[in-house]
Each structure stands twice: as C-alpha cells, then as structure tokens.
Homo-oligomer: A and B are copies of this chain.
Amino acid sequence: MQIDMKQPILDKNDTLAAELRKRFAENHVFVLDLLASPGSGKTSTILATIDALRDEFNIAVIEGDIASSVDAEKIKAQGTSAVQINTGGACHLESAMVKRAVDVLDLERLDLIIIENVGNLVCPTDFDLGENAKVMILSVPEGDDKPLKYPGVFQVAQAVVLNKVDTMPVFDFNREAFEASVRQLNPQAPIFPIAATKGDGVEAWANWLAERIRAV
C-alpha cells in the first residue's frame, strides 16, 4: 500500500492558511509571499520595494530562513518591522510558522506584509500561507533556462520580477527566450525587470503592487 504523506500535511496547512487569509482580509492587509532561489536578491528587492511604498503604506516583513537573522537585521536597519522565522532545517515556510509571526504584529496598523520565503524554487510553491499573491524573483545570473527546469514556481506566481538586469552584459542571458518560456507557463503574469540594489525598474513593480494593496 502506498500512503500519501504529503496530502495530510497540506490539508492541515491549508486550513490554517484559510484562517490567516480571513484575518488579513478583516484587517485590510495585503500579504505578499516572495519566492526565489538563494541569492537572487529577495532582501534587496524587499528593501527597494519598501523605499518605494513606505510613504503611502505601513509595511512589515516576515523573514523565513533556515538559520540566522541577517535578513531581518537588514530590514530593521531600514526602520521597518521585521519578524524572523528560523525553520530549523525546513525548506519552506508553512502557515503555522507564519501564524506565530503574525501574532506578534499589529495587523490593524498594517497595509502590507511581505513574507520572504526560504530560498528555494521548489518546495515553497505548494504551501498556501494565506497570502494574497505569490510573486517570484529570478536573477539574471541564474540563467534564462530556469522556467524549463522549475516550471511550478513560474506557474503559481502572479508576477515575475527579473532582478540584477544590470549584470545582463556579464552573463549570457537570452531575455527573449526567457520571456517566451515564462509566457508559455503563465500567460497572465507581468515580468518586471529590475536592478534592486540600484533602484532601476522598481517603480513599475511597486506601482503594480500598490494597486493591489489599495484594493484590499
């Protein structure tokens, strides 16, 4: 007999995610679940996004990492609330972990929570965290063939941020081929080319996000 061990875990996760989603909606908080490989620039993108949106919105960040709190420290240094979750080995965040972080935030005061998931293009894809949108970042140095090799994350993303576009001349990245394979997996998702550490392209991405925050 084969026992499906993934299903009960997902069921339990999804029940709690639905409760979180209800709490977020009641408090008019937009929640973004950010997925990417290690080192694609999630934290830099979050810092640039906060810079672009902080005048209009109250923002908090939930940092998911296997170990360390270096990312939460970077966010706090910018004057934004950040809660660090250490998964202690787990390769993705689950809604129970997010709930513990949310419990220490003042939801009534917030407009936007950005969840930085564990750097992993595979496992976080399956886990509903009660978010309004999953968005993924791919960075140019990772290569244009990633949609072919990690299709799931490109399919669940409501938008694709292409980071480190300033390094395009250094890497052999075929942007047309990349965009064509994203289109094939996910015709609706906009692609935002940015260079997070330099601020290039952040405005268009931040505007897309701001529209959605205002709507909740």
- Chain A positions within 8 Å of B, measured between CB atoms, are 5, 9, 37-40, 65-68, 70-71, 89, 91, 118-123, 139, 141-143, 145-146, 148-152, 164, 167, 170-171
Contact = CB atoms under 8 A, between A and B. Distances in A.
7 contacts: A38-B121, A39-B146, A65-B149, A67-B149, A89-B122, A120-B120, A170-B170
Nearest to A126: B89
A39 B123 contact: no
A68 B147 CA distance: 10
A130 B120 CA distance: 24
Copies in the complex: 2
If over half of A's interface residues share one DSSP class (helix, strand or loop), that class is named, otherwise mixed; here it is loop
Contact of A146 (B9, B38, B89, B167): B38
A130 to B, nearest CB: 22
Given A66-B122, A68-B149, A119-B149, 10 more contacts: A37-B119, A66-B149, A67-B150, A68-B148, A71-B149, A91-B122, A91-B123, A119-B150, A120-B120, A141-B164
